[in-house]
Structure 1
Amino acid sequence: MTAPDFSQWKMNHTMIRVKDPAESIAFYNRLGLVLIDILLQPSAKFDLYFLGYDYPTSDSAGKDRSDRQGLLELTHNYGTEHDDSYHVSTGNDGLLGFEHLGISVGNLRAVCKTLDELGATWHEKIEMGSPNRAICKDSDGYYVEIVSESRNADSEETAMNIETHVLNHTGLRVKNPKTSLSWYREVLGMTVFEEVKGDGFTHYFMGYNDDTQEDSRSLFSREGMVKLVWIHRSENKEGKVYHNGNIEPQGFGHLAVAVDDIEVACEFFQQRKVTWKKRLTQGRMKSIAFIQDPDDYWIEIIQNARIKVPLGIQ
C-alpha cells in the first residue's frame, strides 16, 4: 500500500478538558477565539466546544470544522463546574507532558497590556524572559504562550488587533526526539518547518502546508503546528517519562488530524503497526479512530467532510 496523500491532511484541533466551559470560553474570547461549533452529548454526560479564529484575514475563515487547522476543543464533563475538588492536570504542575497552547499575535505588548487590565494570571511576562513572548494561564491553569508573529515586541504597539491572532501551535514534551520526529513524519506525514535550539532543550515545529500556507511563510504566521519539546538527556531515562493527560489526573486529551479518507488512513496505520487506542470499527462512535504516538499521546483521526462524507458524528 502506498502512503496516503498527506498534502490533504490537516492538524485540525487540540483537545483539553476544562472545569467550567463558560469561564474557559470567556477567557479564550478575550484572545479573539470564537465558538465555531458545539457537539452536545447529554447521553454521555459531556459536551465539546470548538473554538478558532474566524476573521476575514484568518486562514480557515468560514470553513467547515473538519476542514480547518488550529482549532481548540474544550471538553466539559457534566458536573465538574460544581465540584470544588476537581482540578485538571495542566502538564506543568506535578506530572509533565503537555506544555502549552501557542497563540501568535501581531501586537504582543498590546495583548499583554489588555490581559493585564483583565486580571490575567501570568507565568512569564515579557519583562521576565524572552522579549518576543509571554506566558499566561487560562482559567484552568493551562499555559498559553503568546508570541509575536514577527518575533519581536514593538514598544510602539498601542491596540490589540485580534484579527492578526493565530492558534499557532501545541507544545508537547517528548522523551526521544529521533523516535518522535520519525513517527510524526512517517506515520502522520508532517513536515519539520523549523528546529530551534536553546540551553538544554530543542523545539521542533511540525505540521502541514495547505493552499494558503506556502513554504515561504513565517513560522509564527502558520495555523495548527505541533511543537515537540525535547529536554536534553530525557531520552536516557528509564520507561515512560511524560504524562499523556488521559491517565488520572486528566487534562490534555489529544491532537486531531483531519484526513482525506479515514478508511484508507486507518489501513495505512495498520500497515505501519501503530499503537491503537480505538480502531475505526470499535466503540460507540465508528466514525473516528485514535492512535498513540511514541510517548502515548493520543491522536484522533477524523474525516475531512469537505472531501468525503464522514461515516457518522465526529
Structure 2
Amino acid sequence: MPKIDDSFLMNHTCLRIKDPKVSVPFYTENFGLKLLKYLAFDDFSLYMLGYEDETTKGKNWSAREGVLELCHNHGVENDPEFKVNHGNGPEHRGFGHICLSVDNIQVVEKKLLDNGVKFQKKLADGRQKDIAFALDPNGYWIELIEHGIGKVEAKTDITSYKFNHSMIRVKDPKKSLDFYRNVLGFKVLSTHEFPEAKFTLYFLGYEHSKDFSEDSVDRSLKASKQALIELTHNWGTESDPEFKGYHNGNSTEGGAIQGFGHTCVSCKDPAALCKQIEEEYGDEVKWSLKWDQGNIKKIAFVNDPDGYSIEILGYDLFADSANL
C-alpha cells in the first residue's frame, strides 16, 4: 500500500457546465460558495469554488478539502444543442449528485424555492422527509441534508454550509473499496444498507487519526464533514453478465455525452504517491494521465475500477497565478 500521510485530502469534484455567467452565481448566491481561483486556458476555463473559514484562510485552492470545480469549454454557452449528462437518466448513468449539508434544511428549501431554484425532490416528496434534491442550471442533482450546527429556528446561516460528499455508482463494491482504501488511503466512515430497495451506500473519506475505527461514524457526525465520497452499489450488478457498467462522465462512446469529470486527491508529495502506485500495482491500476506527462504539469489522473477519473495533485498547483 502506498504511504499515506496526514496531508492527504479529497480536494475537489469537477463538473462541466454550459455558461459560467449562470452557474457561478447560482452556487455563490444560493449556497455561499466563494470563487477561490479562476484559471483560464486556451480552450477552457476552470472556476474553483469553496467555503471559507478561519481554517482555510490563506490556503491555496489545491490545499483545501471540499472544492467544487466548474469546467467551462469555451463557446458552448452559445451552442443551443449543448447539454451535459447529469448521470441520472435512463441511459449512461454513473455520477449521481453532489451534496451540501446545511444548518436548517427547511429554511434553506424555502429560500431556494423563493429564488426560483428547481427541485428534483422536495422535503415533502417521497418517504425520506429529511433530504431534498435541488437542480443546478445544468441539471446536476444537489442533495441537501442537515447538519444542524448552530441551528436557529426560522433562520439559516450560509457560512455554516459544507460540501459534504459526491456520489458515484459502482459495479462491484469489493473492487471499489479495495481501490479507494488500499491505493488512495481512504477510510470507510459508514455503511448503510437498504434491503427493500436492494442497494448499499458506502461513505469514504480521509481520517488520519491512529485511533479511528472504520465504519464507526454516525449520521450526525457524517453530515458535519466535508469532502466525502459516497459509493452506491445496486445489488446484483457485480454478478450480472448483462450489466455493461456505468458511464464515467468523460466517455462519448455509444452516443454518450459528458458531464461529471473527476474527483481529486491532494497531498504534499503527489509525485511520490504516483510512483508508489505504479511500483506496487503496475498494470493492475489504469491511468488516464501519468504524473507530469500532460499539457498541464504536476498532475495525474488515475482510474478506479469503474473507469471514473481521480486527479492527483499537490498543495501548490497554480498557487502563484493570479485570478484573471
TM-score, reference length from structure 1: 0.90
Change in Cα spacing, 1:25 to 1:4, as seen in structure 2 (3 Å) is same
Shift in Å at residue 150 of structure 1?
Answer: 4.4
Counterparts of 2:103 and 2:15, CA distance in 1: 25
Tell me, yes or no, if the aligned pair for 1:286 and 1:311 is still in contact at 8 Å: no
Residue number in structure 2 paired with 1:77: 73
Shift in Å at residue 62 of structure 1?
Answer: 4.0
Q: Deviations over 1:162-196 (max 9, x none)?
A: 11100000000000111101110000100001111
Moved more, 234-243 or 270-279: 234-243
Residue number in structure 2 paired with 1:96: 93
Residue number in structure 2 paired with 1:242: 246
Residue number in structure 1 paired with 2:221: 218
Tell me, yes or no, if the aligned pair for 1:287 and 1:310 is still in contact at 8 Å: no
Residue number in structure 2 paired with 1:301: 312
Residue number in structure 2 paired with 1:179: 175
Residue number in structure 1 paired with 2:11: 12
Counterparts of 1:283 and 1:52, CA distance in 2: 26
Residue number in structure 1 paired with 2:207: 209
Residue number in structure 2 paired with 1:267: 275
Secondary structure of the residue that 2:111 maps to in structure 1?
helix
Secondary structure of the residue that 2:108 maps to in structure 1?
helix
Shift in Å at residue 310 of structure 1?
Answer: 7.9
Residue number in structure 2 paired with 1:168: 164
Count of matched residue positions in the alignment of Structure 1 and Structure 2: 300
Residue number in structure 2 paired with 1:38: 38
Change in Cα spacing, 1:157 to 1:210, as seen in structure 2 (3 Å) is farther
Residue number in structure 2 paired with 1:122: 119
Q: List alignment gaps of at least 5 residues for structure 2.
A: none
Secondary structure of the residue that 2:168 maps to in structure 1?
strand
Shift in Å at residue 61 of structure 1?
Answer: 4.4
Tell me, yes or no, if the aligned pair for 1:109 and 1:157 is still in contact at 8 Å: no
The one-letter code sitting in structure 1 at the alignment partner of 2:294 is G
The one-letter code sitting in structure 2 at the alignment partner of 1:243 is H
Counterparts of 2:208 and 2:118, CA distance in 1: 35
Shift in Å at residue 241 of structure 1?
Answer: 1.2
> What value does the CA root-mean-square deviation take over the aligned residues?
2.3
1:105 matched to 2:102? The reply is: yes
Shift in Å at residue 87 of structure 1?
Answer: 0.2
Q: Deviations over 1:48-93 (max 9, x none)?
A: 000011144xx53442211110100000000111100000011012
Shift in Å at residue 161 of structure 1?
Answer: 1.1
Residue number in structure 2 paired with 1:280: 291
Counterparts of 1:311 and 1:135, CA distance in 2: 34
Change in Cα spacing, 1:171 to 1:117, as seen in structure 2 (3 Å) is same
Counterparts of 1:27 and 1:311, CA distance in 2: 26
The one-letter code sitting in structure 1 at the alignment partner of 2:116 is G
- Aligned-pair identity in percent equals 36
Change in Cα spacing, 1:247 to 1:136, as seen in structure 2 (3 Å) is same
Counterparts of 1:84 and 1:149, CA distance in 2: 39
TM-score, reference length from structure 2: 0.87
